[in-house]
């Protein structure tokens, strides 16, 4: 285990596993059509998450892991979609200890959003034993930060670079 498991202040650091959501547990490809328009429709993209099918193989791993350690979700979905996210998880039988979501709309990359989540996870006295992620760039960041990252798919959003900035202004 990582040295960071020693919490100098309380000694209460708890081991956990971290799972991403979109592309990892939730099959979100049916929603990409909203982003491939001249004006990407982020509101429709995130609202359609309610209809995502479960990725069964990763869900099986989730359930096996949950017998050993608590599970945390780290998703770059905006916080305003917490209720949709929590309902989807409950409907799929995926019970988690905590969900970390993008706090603010804007053009901060998912890599940087999740890098910031590491600080919050540790402030909440969690220490990931491993992370399950689909995105190439995010998986690389987790590894650069010293985490064991199990990459369940090879998702590369470089083709989406022409979407302009990650402007979530249509979510208001």
In this predicted structure, the answer to whether residue 151 has a pLDDT above a threshold of 50 is yes
Residue 1 confidence class, pLDDT cut points 50, 70, 90: very low
DSSP label at residue 52: P
Here the CATH number for the domain that contains residue 118 is 3.40.50.1000
Q: What percent of the chain has pLDDT over 70?
A: 83
Domain presence at residue 79? yes
Q: Which domain holds residue 99?
A: 12-27+54-160
Percentage above 90 pLDDT, the chain: 68
* Structural domains counted in the chain: 1
pTM metric for this prediction: 0.83
Q: Decide: 54 and 108 in contact? Cβ < 8 Å.
A: no
3 domain residue, yes or no: no
What value does the mean pLDDT of the chain take? 85
Distance (Å) of CA 82 to CA 12, 60, 113, 119, 132: 27, 23, 16, 20, 20
**What's the average model confidence in pLDDT over 121-148?**
94
In a domain, 44, yes or no: no
The predicted pLDDT at position 24 comes to 94
**Beta strand pairing status for 71-78 and 149-155?**
unpaired
pLDDT on residue 12 = 82
- Is 36 a domain residue? no
Instruction: Report if residue 40 sits inside a domain.
Output: no
Q: How far is CA 93 from the centre of its chain?
A: 17
The reply to whether 132 falls in a domain is: yes
Identify whether 145 is part of a domain: yes
Q: Quick one: average pLDDT of 132-141?
A: 92
pLDDT of residue 155: 66
Asked, for residue 42, whether it belongs to a domain, the answer is no
The dihedral sign for the CA sequence 169, 159, 49, 118: negative
136-162 mean pLDDT: 79
């Amino acid at each position: 285990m990582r040295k960071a498991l020693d919490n100098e202040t309380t000694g209460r650091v708890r081991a956990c596993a971290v799972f991403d959501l979109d592309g990892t547990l939730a099959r979100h490809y049916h929603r990409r059509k909203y982003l491939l328009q001249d004006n990407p429709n982020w509101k429709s993209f995130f609202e359609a998450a309610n209809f995502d099918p479960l990725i069964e193989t990763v869900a099986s791993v989730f359930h096996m892991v949950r017998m050993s350690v608590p599970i945390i979700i780290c998703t770059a979905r905006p916080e305003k979609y917490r209720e949709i996210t929590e309902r989807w998880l409950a409907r799929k039988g995926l019970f988690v200890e905590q969900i970390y979501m993008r706090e603010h709309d804007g053009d901060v990359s998912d890599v940087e959003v999740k890098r910031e989540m590491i600080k919050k996870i540790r402030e909440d006295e969690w220490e990931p034993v491993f992370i399950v992620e689909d995105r190439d760039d995010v998986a690389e960041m987790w590894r650069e930060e010293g985490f064991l990252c199990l990459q369940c798919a090879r998702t590369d959003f470089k083709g989406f670079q022409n979407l302009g900035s990650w402007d979530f202004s249509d979510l208001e």
